[in-house]
Structure 1
């Protein structure tokens, strides 16, 4: 399988593995698993600059070009420290046709389907319902063109409700 690695250092000085260590872990895992590592995109801390997502944007570009079949991280924490952001990212990558993998054995249960952790299951359910809603809304036909009020006479009749019958 052709895969791309993603490395992201945490924003704080004590947050997680250095980018180099993550990349090496990904390389070793890909080699041991028999995958072809096409590239490693990284978001790293630079003195005087906020931690951005340029590496992740590059990863999405490579995915969009159809050059890879899967994404691997050294740990799911590279996607985000926040569980919701992790699930949204995994959901997005899977919707782009990617298999999402981790070099960390601890993450394999989190990445398996169906998920057993209740919080992640709830997030995945909400995301699935968002997709259903978007599909439903996109299938709604636009309303017919409105009448130009300057050219037409419009009559509005107010109808009072019958309090005895409720009609």
Structure 2
């Protein structure tokens, strides 16, 4: 199925290719969206809504070129995350205004304690800084926290030794924890 997805995604002659791929991977995308939204209190955005919004963003692109299935999921996940940050920013603007709140690493990583708009925006700022500091470690956090991959799966995807991935994850947790404690 993985090869079929890549073939469809790169078939520029087939205008319906994206729809066919979405049909094939819909449950996987929904699982990713649910990971993003897990633990969010009083949310009005549901995983299905997030998947549909991401599909809308993908469908707007006139030229889509993906290396493989993992690249597609990475792009879809990134779009979902940005939509969620936009949603949080809009909710904050509508409800409160004001400065961003500090958030602990456990609260900041999806699947931890409930996150409010302030916490989500703080995490976004920290993730942007991590991306500037080290794009590979930024990707590791995305794969682990947002896609929910195991350390072994990350080692396979990134073609790194399991021990290296574990060491990098430990660094990321400490770095993000410190970054999220700093005043904004």
Question: If the TM-score is normalised by the length of the shorter chain, which range does it land in?
Answer: under 0.3
More strand by share: 1
More helix by share: 2
User: Greater relative contact order (Cα 8 A, min sep 6): structure 1 or 2?
Assistant: 2
Structure with larger Rg? 1
The TM-score with structure 2 as length reference comes to 0.26
